[in-house]
Structure 1
Amino acid sequence: MNKIVNKSMMGVAKRIMMCRPTHFKVDYSINPWMDEKVQADFEKATKQWNTLKSTIEKCGAEVVVMESEDARDYPDIVFCANAGILRGKKIYLSHFAFPERYGEHVFYKRFFDKLGFETSFNQKIIHEGAGDALWCGEGMNILVSGVGPRSDVQACEDIQQKIKLNADDKFYVVAARLVDPRFYHVDTCFCPLDENLAMAYMPAFDSVSQNNIRNYTELLPVPEKDARRFVCNSVVIGKHVIVHHGSDTTFKLLEKHGYQVHPIDMSEFMKAGGSAKCCTLRLE
């Protein structure tokens, strides 16, 4: 196993990106959870976003906010987990599967350029960032990358080439094929808690992917009823887990493993197919 440590993803999260939901609404349907007839309450969504932000800060991480006043045409830009995949100060920007989100990468690039990141973007390959690729395993050097609904398997090799820090930097990209349309991104059904443990709803993956993931991390299985409440779409800060309320079975399991659960209401964002993790991107 690789001895190099992915420092930006190891240990307790220090800095987390969020994008203000200035133009958030359910304006189209690009996943099974979205229904234009079931509109989000903007005022309530803003309060929920602010609660998520303050909870992250109470758990010890700094929140870096990306403003989005000029991103009027992109209501889903609040889901900044999809901005890209980070390794150190490099980021592989997303190329979205649907035209409704395609232009978001321009705003993300501007944001990361200001923070001093080295960005890369491949307009020929579809991949939806850290919403569909999560670090786990020893040294946080295994990247479980979604394949299927929203990301192309070709991205796996391209990611490995583009965010490699130097000639000695070695990590593994593990393709994970998603087979349940309700769980269209990896972060809707898989949540690394540390380098050795993750919670997951494994039926969302095909059998080969399930076996591959089990090779790299121990799993806490979550029941389908909790998975449907996006319990895997949690923000993890050390031993703190920030998550949409109501998944009591999984909450008890997390507590048995020493985690403190912080249930919050993310109902308005769930109308668009996202929850707490979708609204965040770990920077370090």
Structure 2
Amino acid sequence: MNPKENPVDRTLAMYQWNRLKLAIECAGGYVHVMEPHGGDHLPDMVFAADGAFIRGKKAYLGNSIFNERKDERNFYQAWLQKHGYETFGSLDFSFEGEGDARWVGQNQSKLVCGVGNRTDARVLDDLKQKLKSDDQDDFKVIPLKVVDPKFFGLDTCFCPLDDELALWYPDALDQDSQKRLKQEMELVPISESEALKLACDAVVIGKTVILNKGAAETEKTLKRLGYTPEFVDLSEFVKSGGSAKCLTLTLSL
């Protein structure tokens, strides 16, 4: 975010990206790589979570509030359509894809969506309509207002560990949102200092949680909950405000 005073080391960034890919594969995940040919003008496209939100073989495309990221949508749409996804998405409202939206509950029965910073709450009705297969295929939408500008996306303050359990930094959300979320699932809080290390911005595969190095308190919490933390140094991506989850988009294959 400050390339003149704090530039990214591209060689190190590529090494760290490959280390993340390897960690996901070692945990039992499978990684598809989208090669952004022709996208050299879109450095933030590496944060794949923002590109879309997936349910089955339907993909609701992201729509960034930032002009510098607008064209990313075309690359994600082309890749997803090539791999058999039906794509949707409104250009009338901003939407940060999986960066602001996460599935919880059994069989994706609940959609938790952060609104207020980078996602417009008005997108939620269209999102629900487009991702439903039929009238019987319903799910609950739970909007959460993100109020702390340091935590611009939901993935920086909320990390589902399974259908009914999540890590969170509650003060990133307003009081009504905190109460609403507490009614839906079990929540384990982390401190602001851990959240600022992007401890919630993690990839969860089974009982393995892959996250940026340095979150020692969260490591203890995860182990207490029966999870195995796997640390990867993602310092070059943290410079732009993103970590492990930001760098990945969950697919349905």
Q: Specify the alignment match of 2:243 in structure 1.
A: 275
- SS of the equivalent of 1:62 reads coil
Match of 1:44 among 7, 12, 15: 12
Contact 1:88-1:165 within 8 A present in 2 as well: no
CA distances 1:107-157 after superposition (whole Å, capped 9, x unpaired):
000000111000002111111100010111243321111111101010111
CA distances 1:55-110 after superposition (whole Å, capped 9, x unpaired):
10000111001001211110000000001111110010011111010110000000
- SS of the equivalent of 1:243 reads strand
Q: Specify the alignment match of 2:215 in structure 1.
A: 247
1:201-220 matches, within 5 Å, as 201-220=169-188
Q: Specify the alignment match of 1:131 in structure 2.
A: 99
CA distances 1:206-265 after superposition (whole Å, capped 9, x unpaired):
000111111111011011111000000000000000000111111111101110110110
Distance of 2:230 and 2:188 partners within structure 1: 18
Structure 2 residue identity aligned to 1:202: P
Deviation beyond 4 Å, 4+ runs, structure 1:
none
Structure 2 residue identity aligned to 1:234: A
Structure 1 stretch displaced more, 164-173 or 137-146 = 137-146
1:249-264 matches, within 5 Å, as 249-264=217-232
- The Cα of 1:173 is off from its aligned counterpart by 1.3
Distance of 1:115 and 1:128 partners within structure 2: 21
Structure 2 residue identity aligned to 1:213: L
Q: TM-score, normalised by structure 1?
A: 0.87
Percent identity of paired positions between Structure 1 and Structure 2: 43
Contact 1:133-1:146 within 8 A present in 2 as well: yes
CA root-mean-square deviation = 0.9
- The Cα of 1:167 is off from its aligned counterpart by 2.0
Match of 1:199 among 152, 164, 167: 167
Segments of structure 1 that go 5 or more residues without pairing to the other structure are 1-33
Higher RCO structure (Cα 8 Å, ≥6 apart)? 1
Segments of structure 2 that go 5 or more residues without pairing to the other structure are none
Q: TM-score, normalised by structure 2?
A: 0.97
1:159-170 matches, within 5 Å, as 159-170=127-138
